[in-house]
Amino acid sequence: VNHLLGIKYITKEDIQLIFETADHFKEVINRPIKKVPSLRDITIANLFFENSTRTRLSFELAEKRLSADVINFSAASSSVKKGETLIDTVNNILSMKVDMVVMRHPNPGAGVFLSKHINSSIINAGDGAHEHPTQALLDCFSIREKLGKVAGKKVVIVGDILHSRVALSNIFALQKLGAKVKVCGPKTLIPKYIEKLGVEVEGNLIKALEWCDVANMLRVQNERMDISYFPTTREYAQQFGLTKKILDSLNKEIVVMHPGPINRGVEITSDVADSKQAIILDQVQNGVAIRMAVIYLLASKIKHHED
């Protein structure tokens, strides 16, 4: 059975194939008729045990654009609330002839754990502070679209690295594609293992921005935070918030990214988020083509296996 559980588990060649497939689907979804019949015989369950706007809707749209049948599950309104386990929940859903599972879960490793207990392809839509592989793929695809390539580009990931699955998946994807990566943020929000990944830490935002071609401004994840870890929101915004004044003071035009949702006025001000240098909504748009590509490639393996 094939899965996308994390960028850690896939190769540069896998990523390149996903990008080439996404190039095709991006062209498809810009046509007047945005659908292809490729997955008429596939049923996909979107299982969300944690809140989401972009990822959930983007997966659902990607599945519908591929003509798959789609069922949506939200833990908050399910029998999980009556004590049903993750494995029981998913096996009950799979018994309804479901072929593929997309899952977001608050626990790191939930997808890897589930993959050992069920007989279905799983796509990780974010597992705690571990990985968010499709976010990293759409982020790198957006850099490739904006700057022509990812290899050799300098990318700084700014902010709450400690709680961020987006940071870890981006680090793996950017390194596999040959980009140079630094992280920047308060010491309390930088995990100890980061330098073991070959990533340099820069504590000064201006120096980090002067170095980079691309700045990926992460959300401060208050919901995962012990308050004692954290500089105050005001201190954070003063030291690590990206403002228009800072952006305009740089001697070059950098690309600004954010995975969303944005804390406007904390990690990024509104005039930066809404500026021409920000590609935040391009990232969201590219998410549909990337997820179509991932689902299509995994479904092709299921069909090949059945043949």
Could you say which of 3, 21, 26, 55 is catalytic? Answer: 55
Q: Residue 259 interacts with ligand CP (CB under 6 A)?
A: yes
Q: Indicate if 104 belongs to the active site.
A: yes
Closest residue by Cα to residue 206 from 244, 159, 240: 240
CB of 204 to ligand CP, least distance (A): 27
Tell me whether residue 106 or residue 203 sits nearer to ligand CP (CB atom).
Answer: 106
Contact between 45 and 68 under an 8 Å Cβ cutoff? The reply is: no
CB of 217 to ligand CP, least distance (A): 12
Could you say which of 56, 65, 105, 132 is catalytic? Answer: 132
The dihedrals phi and psi of 155, each to the nearest 5 degrees, come to: -120, 130
Q: Indicate if 11 belongs to the active site.
A: no
What is the spatial order of strands in the sheet that 214-217 belongs to? Answer: 200-201, 180-184, 154-158, 214-217, 255-257
Q: Residue 133 interacts with ligand CP (CB under 6 A)?
A: no
Q: Residue 53 interacts with ligand CP (CB under 6 A)?
A: yes
Tell me whether residue 189 or residue 302 sits nearer to ligand CP (CB atom).
Answer: 189
Contacting range for ligand CP; rule: CB under 6 A; set: 47-55, 206-214, 227-235, 290-298: 47-55
How many angstroms from the chain centroid is the CA of residue 111? 15
Q: Indicate if 132 belongs to the active site.
A: yes
Q: Residue 16 interacts with ligand CP (CB under 6 A)?
A: no
Q: Indicate if 82 belongs to the active site.
A: yes
Tell me whether residue 72 or residue 300 sits nearer to ligand CP (CB atom).
Answer: 72
- Measured CA to CA, the distance from residue 183 to residue 160 in angstroms comes to 10
Contact between 104 and 166 under an 8 Å Cβ cutoff? The reply is: no
How many angstroms from the chain centroid is the CA of residue 305? 28
- Measured CA to CA, the distance from residue 200 to residue 194 in angstroms comes to 8
Site of interaction with ligand CP (CB under 6 A): 52-55, 126, 135, 259-261
